[in-house]
Amino acid sequence: MASQPHETPWWRGAVIYQIYPRSFADSNDDGIGDLAGITAHLEHVASLGVDAIWLSPFFASPMTDFGYDVSDYRAVDPMFGTLEDFDALLARAHELGLKVIIDQVYAHTSDQHAWFRESRAMREGDKSDWYVWADPKPDGTPPNNWLSVFYGPCWSWDGRRGQYYLHNFLPSQPNLNVHNPDVQQALFDTARFWLDRGVDGFRLDAINFAMHDPMLTDNPPVTAKTAVLRRPFDYQHHIHNQSQPELMDFVEKLARVVRDYPGERFTVAEVGGEQALTEMKTLTAGNDLLHTSYGFDFLYAEKLTPKLILSTLEKWSHEEGEGWPSWAFSNHDAPRAVSRWGDGAHQDGWARLLLALLMSLRGNVFLYQGEELGLNQAQIPFERLRDPEAIANWPLTLGRDGARTPMPWAAGQPHGGFSQAEPWLPVPGDHITHAVSVQNADPDSILALARRLVRLRRDTPALRCGDFVPLSLKPPLLGFERLFGDQRVRCLFNLGLQPAAIKSGGDKVLCAHNADTLGTLGPLGFSLQLCSGKPQSA
């Protein structure tokens, strides 16, 4: 049954543009992006028609994991600017009608955080149990078999305390003991600090790693012969070092903190792992928890198929009280979708198709910087790699550096207009040919299409927040309808490289590429059509 028109909050169906501050724009020519650089380019973001921006971490940090190792939750790292620079960014974004969402990393801190320095100093003290400490086994080995995401055991020895500490990521990222009420209160106070400054919400990084099994039970091994085992982490089912039942109480309290502020502040949880779907729904069910959850269904999928899209969307049943999903095809942690799903010979065609598909999905949409330009995954030579995961697992994984290269702003300027200095990562030549300055001058560019699609989604209730009804089409054709009240939009896509005949049935074409009025979708073509009459059945 189609949804009925009603007043919806700003975030429901919103398009949120992710900015990776280190690579967006450099205002002081030191080769690293900064807050002032973001502020100077917010008009570009606003021109897309998006609802909000999400800023990856800009907090004080030793940068062993490029900001996801926070040493002071309430300070801006000097390489990015100052708190005053952040306030200026926030004010300018609000002037342009953009909400501002910031990352909050509550599962772990940097080992340089004052809390950890105090915790490691002694076993008796105010913060002695703010982190997860454990004695060794009788033979001196770590307390259990847990393995970290990046490499090796989850445990590192600390000679100051004579104990092991837990870290689900790098050894320099010790896990907070979020079971501790004092730790929870400190995190709530951190949230209030940024809400008081005027931010519109939070993306909660790796939130399902915020609770561990206090009994430190061993994780069971992965025994399936079909399992893909690239890293030590992949050899275990991570049942005990994440996603504990006690997490729900913490999340509910945090959600209450955010809801106490006016203006429909927003929360989105990043959730990964084998039980991601269940956890995504649990964390967003009803009205007292988080607004939405951000999963990895598409981010790590190696191939785009109609089955992938339809089966993923159909897992969300539209039932009353069920949470609201969020989707991304690319981000700072995953290889760019144009390269992961497409091929270099048809890069621009894939970019157009993927933009149209992403903007047609039910849920919130996260658009990663450069996705509106059709940027591909950069090839970074080993000697230029900066990502600790890529270096540790090279060459078995593509790593994350290739998705983090600087934004190309101007084709005629050094380093694509990102900086006068050598950037922290190189700017590929084929990115410069896709620069904002080049595409701004072309009304048929990928950027121009991105603007049309984002605005179409914003102005079309069925696309923004309507129900999702799959169509039975033969692959590589993909089709579904979006329904809201009396409005119906049919979304048709050809995921193949050969023309395909398809029954159209629409009364008005809202946006199309490589499609004709006779019902043929060309290679990587799409057509979004406004329809009348009853919806087709699945």
Taking the alpha carbons of 481, 335, 292, 59 in that order, is the dihedral positive or negative?
Answer: negative
How far is 210 from 105, CA to CA, in rounded Å? 9
Tell me which H or E stretch contains 477: strand 477-484
Burial string for 457-473 (b: 16+ CB within 10 Å, else e) reads bbebbbbbbbbbbbbeb
Q: Are 365 and 48 in contact (CB under 8 A)?
A: no
Q: How many CB atoms are closer than 10 A to CB 114? A: 11
Burial of residue 6 (number of CB atoms within 10 Å: 0-12, 13-18, 19+): exposed
How far is 77 from 82, CA to CA, in rounded Å? 7
Residue type, 23: S
Active site residue 205: yes
How far is 90 from 202, CA to CA, in rounded Å? 14
Which residue do the tokens 């309430």 mark? 74
Phi, psi dihedrals of residue 81, rounded to the nearest 5°? 130, -140
Structure-block tokens of residue 485: 């009240």
How far is 418 from 280, CA to CA, in rounded Å? 36
Active site residue 260: no
* The one catalytic residue among 34, 51, 200, 205: 205
| Angle at the Cα of 42 from the Cα atoms of 38 and 48, rounded to 5 degrees | 135
Q: Are 216 and 175 in contact (CB under 8 A)?
A: no
Peptide bond into 214 cis (omega under 30): no
Annotated catalytic residues are: 205, 270
